[in-house]
Amino acid sequence: MPIPGRLLTTAMAVMPHDDANRALELALSLDIPYWPQLPHLNYYEDMYVQASEHFPGIVLDMENRTLRFSTDKFMEELPAVLERFDDPELFDISVTYSAVYHKFLSMDLSDYPAIRGQLEGPISFGFNVQDENNRPILFNDEIRSFMLDFMARRVNVQLKRLKEKNPNAFMFVDEPGLQFIFSAMSGYEAIQAHKDMEYFFTQIDRPRGIHLCGNPDWDFLLSLDLDVLSLDMYSNGEIFVSYGKSIRNFLNRGGILIWGIVPTNFEPFEKESLESLETRLINLWHAAAKAAKLDLEFLLERSLISPATCCLVNPDGTKTVEKAFDLMCRLSLKLRERFKFT
């Protein structure tokens, strides 16, 4: 099993730090570390900006922190990009767009049970980036088709580099925008989205998966050919565990679930404790196992633990996030002892 389960810890990459070394230190303290994304450090560290590097037509304004798209610029730059479509360097993340990524890759990461990278997914990128008419580029069929190919190559290049550091490396595709496609107002039908995501994942090397903090149609997500699914269980757990058949099918295919249970926002974090989160998580596991008609140990063998979400807006800066990481690690250790995974 390239992605370990057994209640080990990992986390989302976006962190509130402006100190890259401190953020990396925290990431490396987890069982499955990752390279942090630090938008408070500079705008290049924004997850949408990092995904946009070398994408034709992008208009990046560092001073005003805006990311836009020009159709004319896309048509002008596309031929040169297509000429380099077999060049891995085109699709990797440069030092300018993330010095943290390159520092992570310079380290000896071989002793970890796995490591992880991430890239903003095509659906969310396409929703977020707008053209000169304030229209998301996701709605342009030609650009969307190119974007699916471009982003898949970016994922593969990063995964290859990570696997050189640890053979059990895997990738998250961050897709917060997936929760919006089920609204009648989205303008992008779920049927088309499922078709696009299926095509996208056929191009991506394994192991690969999705992370999102929202509450989409879970049947939609669990039916995709993923190896790992990372969720905000603190907010959505009771809804998610009711999808028993889809959970069973996902786990039986070898999938791994990441239970995001420790809140990182100041107010909910202050209301919780090690004991309350342990009770909450165990109740969710029992409910999921019952709904999916699975043995609890089988479920836990295929489960990891993470914070519920990333958080950039706490009044205490990085303090609550760091406390959440500490609480998550203590929770993981206690649960591993309880279920004899130590």
| Interhelix angle 274-292/244-252, nearest 10 degrees | 90
Residue-level pLDDT at 173: 96
Q: How far is the C-alpha of 19 from the C-alpha of 22, rounded, in Å?
A: 5
Q: How far is the C-alpha of 267 from the C-alpha of 119, rounded, in Å?
A: 29
Q: What is the residue-level pLDDT of the chain in tens, covering all 342 positions? A: 589 999 999 999 999 999 999 999 999 999 999 999 999 999 999 999 999 999 999 999 999 999 999 999 999 999 999 999 999 999 999 999 999 999 999 999 999 999 999 999 999 999 999 999 999 999 999 999 999 999 999 999 999 999 999 999 999 999 988 877 766 656 777 788 889 999 999 999 999 999 998 888 899 999 999 999 999 999 999 999 999 999 999 999 999 999 999 999 999 999 999 999 999 999 999 999 999 999 999 999 999 999 999 999 999 999 999 999 999 999 999 999 999 997
Q: Are 71 and 132 in contact (CB under 8 A)?
A: yes
> SS in 3 state form for the chain?
CCCCCCCCECCCCECCCCCHHHHHHHHHCCCCCECCECCCCCHHHCHHHHHHCCCCCEEEECCCCEEEECHHHHHHHHHHHHHCCCCHHHHCCCCCCCHHHHHHHCCCCCCCCCCEEEEECHHHHHHHCECCCCCEHHHCHHHHHHHHHHHHHHHHHHHHHHHHHCCCCEEEEECHHHHHCCCCCCCCCHHHHHHHHHHHHHCCCCCEEEECCCCCCHHHHHCCCCCEEEEEHHHHHHHHCCCHHHHHHHHHCCCEEEEEEECCCHHHHHHCCHHHHHHHHHHHHHHHHHHHCCCHHHHHHCEEEEECCCCCCCCCCCHHHHHHHHHHHHHHHHHHHHCCCC
**How many residues are present in the chain?**
342
Q: Which amino acid is at 36?
A: P
* Strands 66-69 and 58-61, sheet pairing: antiparallel
Residues paired with residue 208 on neighbouring β-strands, in sequence order: 171
Residue-level pLDDT at 181: 77
Identify the CA nearest to 326 among candidates 286, 258, 272, 267. Answer: 272
Residue-level pLDDT at 335: 98
Q: Which two tokens stand for residue 278?
A: 């342990």
Identify the CA nearest to 149 among candidates 106, 99, 103, 202. Answer: 202
Domains, the chain, ranges and CATH?
20-338 (3.20.20)
Residue-level pLDDT at 185: 58
Residues contacting residue 123 through CB under 8 Å, at least 6 positions apart: 138, 175, 177, 178, 181, 188, 193, 196, 197
Residue 140: φ, ψ to 5°: -95, 110
Residue-level pLDDT at 1: 56
Q: How far is the C-alpha of 23 from the C-alpha of 16, rounded, in Å?
A: 8
Q: How far is the C-alpha of 2 from the C-alpha of 207, rounded, in Å?
A: 7
Q: Which amino acid is at 259?
A: W
